[in-house]
Chain A
Amino acid sequence: MPPERVRSVRLVTVAVTLLAGLSMIAFMTVGVRGSWSFVLAHRGVRLAALITVAYAIALSTVLFQTLTGNRILTPAVMGFDALFLLLQTTLVAALGSAGAVAIDPRLLFSVECLVMVGLSGLLFRLLFRGEDRNLPLVVLSGLLFGALFRSLSSFLQRVMDPNDFLVLQGRAFASFNVVDPALIGVAALLAVMATIIVLPRLSELDVLVLGRQRATGLGVDTTRLSAIVFALVAILVSASTALVGPTTFFGLLVANLAYLLVPSARHASVLPVAVGLAVMTLVGGQMLLERLLGFGTALSIVIDFVGGITFLLILFRAGRR
């Protein structure tokens, strides 16, 4: 890489890191009244959750897009988080509220994660198998699958026992405002594990950007690499969905912003910026909405609004080429 590009990559990374750090400080300190120790502890838990979510979404989106060779689809657009919700609903419906409450939520979450890896692997096979695939068809089927999973879960929720539903509500309808503290530790651990697995493979992922066949020609075992990375994506999506629920366009937004800002296709350069942007948007946005707008609206709505427009713009631009 020529030195001026190295410099601009570094500049972007430092700027995004600084802004992410600033939004974290603001999140912790703006509008504190009363006991600092209570407020800091309370907000610290939520900050940890938001950072874990931002990290998991940014990482899973970029990995997924490298794997599928496109910049339009994300695990969320393909309905993976809806799949996770369906899984949770089905489990509670099958076990009953007594059964679901008796099981440690962390154990339940781990089981859900495992099933998620299997199911999303199946979905992936279905949509991305074969040597040449039709991207618009994949987009449409992904959106349809998402709708299917969402309708199935809401159907199950309607017919289930009201007591079970209450338990499910406590578990599944997490949002940016209310996170389940029991799961933060597990989710963060999963994110760290995913990172440890993915780090030594970053240079192979860089090659995968050239396309599956060229990567094979350059000596990358693409089948193995795809399987590993795809399992990681499924785990990361489970982690973020368990913490804050579905975020349809958030990953798309931060990943594409990162591609735009970073003048390099190396994952080692793109990923930190994507994560920084995600933290900045999520933590900063939540702070602004809570402290300045007084919970006037939900952050997920704002993100989906901006993200949805971005999605359409990218889609139109891709269509014109």
Chain B
Amino acid sequence: MIEIDKICKRYGETVVVDNVSLAIPRGGVIGIVGPNGAGKSTLLSLTSRLIKPTSGAIRVDGLDVSKAPNRDLARRLSVMRQENHVAARLTVGDLVAFGRFPHNRGRPTREDAERVKAAIDFVGMETMADRFLDQLSGGQRQRAFVAMALAQDADYALFDEPLNNLDIHHAVSMMRLFRRMGDQPGKTVIVVLHDLNVAAAYADRVVVMQAGRVVSDGRPTEVITRTLLSDVFRVEGDVMEIDGRRVVNVAP
């Protein structure tokens, strides 16, 4: 269970995350949607202790993320951020192997090697394991970072816009992968998404953010409505129901 308790983040005068409280129980896929600049990524970074909140607290399974030992947290919670540049020359295999660091502290076992290989296979990069990251396309690099998060095998996996740079084939296989992860017992996937149709198709729960606040929260069928489109995203469009799931259609 992740408990976000009255969290605020300000940069000078600008309030990026404004008094957000959220409880995320174990299990399933949670999509966070919202317009650009709504504070989705900041909320994710706060939850994964990469930045410090101005006020408020976040607990993961009862551990306060600002106080608990980093090692313990890294085994419970993994995070993949948007920016995926690395200064050093690393191969895909090297990168994914870092995902095992919280478990082996730099001494890989045979089990680690197997998990790394499995993670690389999972994202369909088995032929590219020895390629250097700077020789890959943006989408391939993205998948390599997802494989690293997979190898970390944390109970809570956070992804910040993992579908950036991906073509439709890889976007769909990545969302299916998240779905499978979220269906495993005790595993939770929290993912920032842009495409409402993707959120509607794969998420169990959709959290909508706007101007630093959570404005809507619930099952996709409850949240994705015409008022959401007009009030939060400021577009006029239809929300239809096809095969029991919501589909957004915005007129060109």
Contact = CB atoms under 8 A, between A and B. Distances in A.
Contacts of B107: 203
B122 interface: no
Interface string A195-216: 0000000111011011101101
B219 interface: no
Interface stretch (A11-19, A182-190, A218-226): A218-226
Contacts of A71: 87
A104 interface: no
B73 A219 contact: yes
A219 B87 contact: no
Given A131-B51, A216-B49, A218-B99, A211 B74 contact: no
A203 B93 contact: no
Nearest to B78: A217
B140 to A, nearest CB: 17
B226 to A, nearest CB: 38
A265 B90 contact: yes
Interface in B80-121: 81, 86-90, 93-95, 98-99, 101-102, 105-107
B70 interface: yes
A269 to B, nearest CB: 11
A204 B106 contact: yes
B228 to A, nearest CB: 31
Main secondary structure of the interface of A (DSSP, over half): loop
A70 B87 contact: yes
Contacts of A209: 86-88, 90
A293 interface: no
B102 A218 contact: yes
B74 A1 contact: no
Contacts, number: 69
A67 to B, nearest CB: 12
Contact of A218 (B72, B90, B101): B101
A9 to B, nearest CB: 12
B59 interface: no
Given A265-B88, A265-B94, A216 B101 contact: no
A1 B89 CA distance: 13
B99 A265 contact: no
B75 interface: yes
A232 to B, nearest CB: 19
Contacts of B78: 217
Nearest to B149: A217
A281 B87 CA distance: 26
B11 to A, nearest CB: 10
Given A203-B101, A203-B107, A207-B98, A219 B86 contact: no
Interface residues of A, number: 27
B79 interface: yes
Interface in A214-248: 214, 216-221
Nearest to B45: A213
Interface residues of B, number: 32
B87 A218 contact: no
B142 interface: no
A211 B45 CA distance: 15
Nearest to A270: B88
A217 B79 contact: yes
A204 B95 CA distance: 14
Interface string B143-174: 00000000010000000000000000000000
B130 interface: yes
Nearest to B52: A131
B94 A1 contact: yes
Contacts of A131: 51
Interface in A265-280: 265
Contacts of A70: 87
Given A131-B51, A203-B101, A265-B94, A217 B74 contact: yes
Contacts of A285: none
Contacts of A294: none
A296 interface: no
A265 to B, nearest CB: 4
A219 B89 contact: no
Contact of B89 (A69, A221, A265): A265
A204 B72 CA distance: 15
B50 interface: yes
Nearest to B72: A219
A216 B106 contact: no
The 8 closest A-B pairs by CB, nearest first: A203-B106, A219-B74, A265-B88, A219-B102, A209-B88, A219-B71, A213-B50, A217-B79
Interface of A: 1-2, 5, 69-71, 131, 202-204, 206-207, 209-211, 213-214, 216-221, 259, 263-265
26 contacts: A2-B130, A69-B87, A203-B105, A203-B106, A206-B106, A207-B98, A207-B101, A209-B88, A209-B90, A213-B45, A216-B49, A216-B50, A217-B48, A217-B78, A218-B99, A218-B102, A219-B70, A219-B71, A219-B72, A219-B73, A219-B102, A220-B101, A259-B89, A263-B89, A265-B88, A265-B94
